[in-house]
Amino acid sequence: MSLWSRTRNAVYGEITRTSMELFLTRGFDATTIDDIAAAAGISRRSFFRYFGTKEDVVLGDLATRGDLIRQALEARPDGEDPWDALCAALHSVKDAAYGSDEEMLAVFKMVHQTPSLRARSIEKHLQWQAMLTPEIRRRLGADPSDPLDVRAEALVASVLTCLDVAGEAWGRADGKVPLEDLFDAAAAAVHGGSS
């Protein structure tokens, strides 16, 4: 990695840490881009070199996590039930999330309580759906050119909704119940107990 790339990554990380501290202490909506720039020692213009929006600071790496889930899904055994493969892929990348459970819980709560973050999160999950659907189509033996075969999209959307519902419940429970257990309960309710 070049010096320029290392420097860029370091600045990106510093802006992210500074922003998250402000969001979690002041609140997302109460924190402005100017606040972030001042605290990070950068200009407003520099902020926009790294992030398109405040929401991207919180949710920008969801696309990366979606790719990790896709890779984990593709690594699952071919004969595995597509639903079970999706659930297992999600479980396998849980440690690539936000850090400690306390940090992750604070972020989940912030996302679910902030309409702009919630909307951006749904948008990112739609990107995940587009990434994961081709592999589920393959596992189902579906014709990728058949626009009326909605099975793969339905399976992926259902699993992602289970994740979203579990995350919201985890936040309501203040993390007292493991997120994985809530996800498994939601998945079992949708898929008849086979996950």
**CATH numbers and ranges of domains, the chain:** 3-54 (1.10.10.60), 61-191 (1.10.357.10)
CA geometry: angle 105, 90, 64, nearest 5 deg: 80
Q: How many alpha carbons lie under 13 Å from residue 104 in its C-beta half-sphere?
A: 15
**Measuring CA to CA, which residue among 89, 91, 81 is closest to residue 193?**
81
The whole model's pTM is what? 0.83
pLDDT tens, residue by residue, 133-151: 999 999 999 998 899 999 9
Residue type at 167 in one-letter notation = G
Tell me how crowded residue 68 is: count the other CB atoms within 10 A of its CB.
Answer: 14
**What is the DSSP-derived secondary structure letter of residue 102?**
H
Q: How far apart are CA 15 and CA 17, in angstroms?
A: 6
**What is the DSSP-derived secondary structure letter of residue 96?**
G
Mean pLDDT of the chain: 90
Cβ proximity of 94 and 179 under 8 Å: yes
Cβ proximity of 96 and 66 under 8 Å: no
Q: How far apart are CA 165 and CA 72, in angstroms?
A: 22
pLDDT tens, residue by residue, 82-136: 999 999 999 988 755 556 778 888 888 899 889 999 998 898 889 999 999 999 9
Q: Over range 33-55, report the average pLDDT.
A: 94
